[in-house]
Structure 1
Amino acid sequence: MRASWRAGLPLTCCSSWESGFCTSAGQQGGAGPVCVTGYTKLGYAGNTEPQFIIPSCIAIRESAKVVDQAQRRVLRGVDDLDFFIGDEAIDKPTYATKWPIRHGIVEDWDLMERFMEQVVFKYLRAEPEDHYFLMVSSWNQEKYTPMSSKVPFCEGGLPECTGSGLWLLMWLSCLLSSSLLSSPLQAEGYVIGSCIKHIPIAGRDITYFIQQLLREREVGIPPEQSLETAKAIKEKYCYICPDIVREFAKYDVDPRKWIKQYTGINAINQKKFIIDVGYERFLGPEIFFHPEFANPDFMESISDVVDEVIQSCPIDVRRPLYKNVVLSGGSTMFRDFGRRLQRDLKRVVDARLKLSQELSGGRIKPKPVEVQVVTHHMQRYAVWFGGSMLASTPEFFQVCHTKKDYEEYGPSICRHNPVFGVMS
């Protein structure tokens, strides 16, 4: 697989909410990744899929005081041990459910530390002192790198750890140069920091948008289950449409064909409720291409962002990048997502070439640029699988930072990535 690394230069289009904080744990023979995003993927190195997939949320007890959020937490005695994570956290109505990570950025390191503690001990059933861990932090938030190293070394007692970027996706595609949304371009194994681009739109924003649409139209949804209902509809019925105006017309002409019905059960009285799912099917994912629907402060579509990222790269690598746009992340799994992105990106590129030809008075005819968006069967777990491959190699253990190094040099050691010099 390594022989084909330099066969091309892919631009890896990764969901920004997927690229925030990852860690991996494994035995001496290999390390297994734990990708923490909207969902947390748990497992050991060498596997093609994670063993556990749980929501990245934590349920804690809070008081009803009108004070700062941190002061409301109940921490008397052993109350700080009274918390749940994942699906158990969602099923605890008397607890306050918190999401430590939003848009790929860790917002609450105290809750993150408690979350990772249960991940390692309860799900992986691992002793941290006997395992190697792979820590992956988002390139677009370099200031959080010291905290991502403090948690495993100071609090978790991990013996060894390495800092690595989200170029784990390159291990999956077996290509050495890539660029990630919400992460800088990587060409020939080097990070170009000037190409950092972050999209403040996440899968949770789609859920909230669908929830808002349902609240305005449907009255039969239990209020306490509106978010879970919107999430289920998003995952089951949503898709990307080629033209939003024509899609509205299709639903108006033949509503029986396009409008679906969702059946749920009220958690309180155990009665069924049925709702119609109409325009929400395509309006939800449409915020990737019209983000102003959900966030008025951000107006750029994902195709424009991809184009800007590539245009900020060295000119010699732009054509290969346009030709290899690789999708990764759960929210890129919507039907026809890749086709829509490829079409819109092609339109932007062709418009620029046409303008260039007009400005030259027709004397210069630019060579057409091939645009290709690549989908693959490992698209959903691409980052996790890339980490699994990396942590399975013998070279991985040679580039780990030890706790002794951390105590001597501090968190700055995680800003240096020795992997490129040893394993590339």
Structure 2
Amino acid sequence: VLYQSPGPCVYTKLGYAGNTEPQFIVPSCIAIKESAKVGDQAQRRMMKGVDDLDFFIGDEAIDKPTYATKWPIRHGIVEDWDLMERFMEQVIFKYLRAEPEDHYFLLTEPPLNTPENREYTAEIMFESFNVPGLYIAVQAVLALAASWTSRQVGERTLTGTVIDSGDGVTHVIPVAEGYVIGSCIKHIPIAGRDITYFTQQLLREREVGIPPEQSLETAKAVKERFSYVCPDLVKEFNKYDTDGSKWIKQYTGINAISKKEFTIDVGYERFLGPEIFFHPEFANPDFTQPISEVVDEVIQNCPIDVRRPLYKVTYFFYHI
């Protein structure tokens, strides 16, 4: 299973079916030695040779300052197929340590991927890697299928509204019987990175013990470890004000320069970060429509015969 996350900070998650989580999560970048101009794909193809084998992917690529680092995927769409093929080669042989001829592959794609991109992906998998079988699925449909693990057999469905939130953008995607209604998809300019920035701002205003150069890293760790969505903002403030010791958590980090530990209290930030989905004006004054209104608008734009089941199942799919 290979999953490509959307957004500017693209990661590839890979593993074997049946596991509860991916075996590897690697940045979808590749570092190559390049004598040609940056981005000149045609010249790279003509100059293939020893340098063609001299490349790194993922975290290794980021740590190679003397190489040209490229991101062949942007917002879930492949932009450089030559580099993407090399990236897939390393992913399959080095990370998964699999013989592609012996395994079926499940790849994910963004909801508005073009038929040409899908065809090119299949061509690479069948002709370059000789896989016996391939299935390319839309991420939103797989999110609905993932919800089956917590549902009774009679309640399982591939019809619903999926809120797909990544690092850089959030999409509201209506799915009817496993098919994405592409004309009704809407995107929201609020996503995981905005929660991180908003949490960073809140911590800066209140906590003085955070090293300035580590404020973003600390905010990201706080978001991932402690954040949750609350049903009532006023009641949540009251809970922290009346019994703070029960709800306030502590985060401990290490100063990158002095190597000393620092500890901060994490209070209101736990629920105020995700609250920007429901009050986006907190983080983005140019966008003030809460996610509930966007979901309602998306469903109302769909054919009338699927609106009721779309309202019935709404699945929030958050990934970074």
Work out whether the TM-score is over 0.5: yes
Q: CA-to-partner distance for each residue in 1:201-229, whole Å, 9 max, x for gaps?
A: 32233223222333344343334433332
Matched residue, 1:150:
120
SS of the counterpart of 2:296? helix
Matched residue, 2:152:
none
Report if the CA contact (8 A) 2:159-2:313 is conserved.
no
The answer to whether the aligner puts 1:121 opposite 2:110 as a matched pair is no
Question: Which of 219, 227, 234 is the matching residue for 2:216?
Answer: 227
Shift of 1:284: 1.0
SS of the counterpart of 2:106? strand
Q: CA-to-partner distance for each residue in 1:243-268, whole Å, 9 max, x for gaps?
A: 33443444445544433221111234
SS of the counterpart of 2:251? strand
232-241 vs 199-208, which deviates more? Answer: 199-208
Can you give the 5+ residue segments of structure 1 that lack an aligned partner in the other structure?
1-32, 63-67, 332-424
RMSD: 4.0
Question: Which of 179, 183, 193 is the matching residue for 1:204?
Answer: 193
How does 1:165-204 map onto structure 2 within 5 Å? Answer: 165-166=138-139, 167-172=141-146, 173=148, 174-181=156-163, 182=171, 184-204=173-193
Query: 2: distance between equivalents of 1:250 and 1:304?
Result: 28
Q: TM-score, normalised by structure 2?
A: 0.69
How does 1:294-373 map onto structure 2 within 5 Å? Answer: 294-330=283-319
SS of the counterpart of 1:210? helix
Query: 2: distance between equivalents of 1:200 and 1:100?
Result: 23
Query: 1: distance between equivalents of 2:121 and 2:227?
Result: 37
Shift of 1:34: 1.5
The answer to whether the aligner puts 1:276 opposite 2:247 as a matched pair is no
Q: Which has the higher contact order (CA 8 A, sep 6+)?
A: 1
Report if the CA contact (8 A) 1:41-1:50 is conserved.
no
Matched residue, 1:56:
27
Assess, with a 3 A threshold, how the Cα gap between structure 1 residues 235 and 89 changes in structure 2: closer, same or farther: farther
Query: 2: distance between equivalents of 1:122 and 1:99?
Result: 19
Shift of 1:98: 8.2
SS of the counterpart of 1:208? helix
149-158 vs 197-206, which deviates more? Answer: 149-158
How does 1:382-397 map onto structure 2 within 5 Å? Answer: none
Shift of 1:35: 1.5
Shift of 1:196: 1.5
Shift of 1:231: 1.9
Report if the CA contact (8 A) 2:3-2:13 is conserved.
yes
Q: CA-to-partner distance for each residue in 1:57-108, whole Å, 9 max, x for gaps?
A: 548599xxxxx9969xxx998599454525x678x59799987767x53486
Matched residue, 1:35:
3
SS of the counterpart of 1:142? coil
Query: 2: distance between equivalents of 1:294 and 1:107?
Result: 30
Query: 2: distance between equivalents of 1:194 and 1:231?
Result: 34
Report if the CA contact (8 A) 1:184-1:194 is conserved.
no
Q: CA-to-partner distance for each residue in 1:338-373, whole Å, 9 max, x for gaps?
A: xxxxxxxxxxxxxxxxxxxxxxxxxxxxxxxxxxxx
296-305 vs 242-251, which deviates more? Answer: 242-251
Assess, with a 3 A threshold, how the Cα gap between structure 1 residues 60 and 196 changes in structure 2: closer, same or farther: same
SS of the counterpart of 2:294? helix
SS of the counterpart of 1:313? coil
Query: 1: distance between equivalents of 2:176 and 2:218?
Result: 42
Query: 2: distance between equivalents of 1:268 and 1:329?
Result: 33
Assess, with a 3 A threshold, how the Cα gap between structure 1 residues 117 and 292 changes in structure 2: closer, same or farther: farther
Query: 2: distance between equivalents of 1:226 and 1:97?
Result: 26
Matched letter for residue 288 of structure 2: M
Query: 1: distance between equivalents of 2:269 and 2:161?
Result: 31
SS of the counterpart of 2:302? coil
Matched letter for residue 222 of structure 1: P
Matched residue, 1:259:
248
Query: 2: distance between equivalents of 1:101 and 1:283?
Result: 32
Matched letter for residue 125 of structure 1: R
Report if the CA contact (8 A) 2:2-2:108 is conserved.
no
Assess, with a 3 A threshold, how the Cα gap between structure 1 residues 299 and 236 changes in structure 2: closer, same or farther: same
The answer to whether the aligner puts 1:138 opposite 2:138 as a matched pair is no
Matched residue, 1:164:
137
Query: 2: distance between equivalents of 1:307 and 1:228?
Result: 35
Report if the CA contact (8 A) 1:131-1:159 is conserved.
no
Q: Per residue, is there more strand in 1 or in 2?
A: 2
Shift of 1:292: 2.9
Can you give the 5+ residue segments of structure 2 that lack an aligned partner in the other structure?
149-155, 164-170
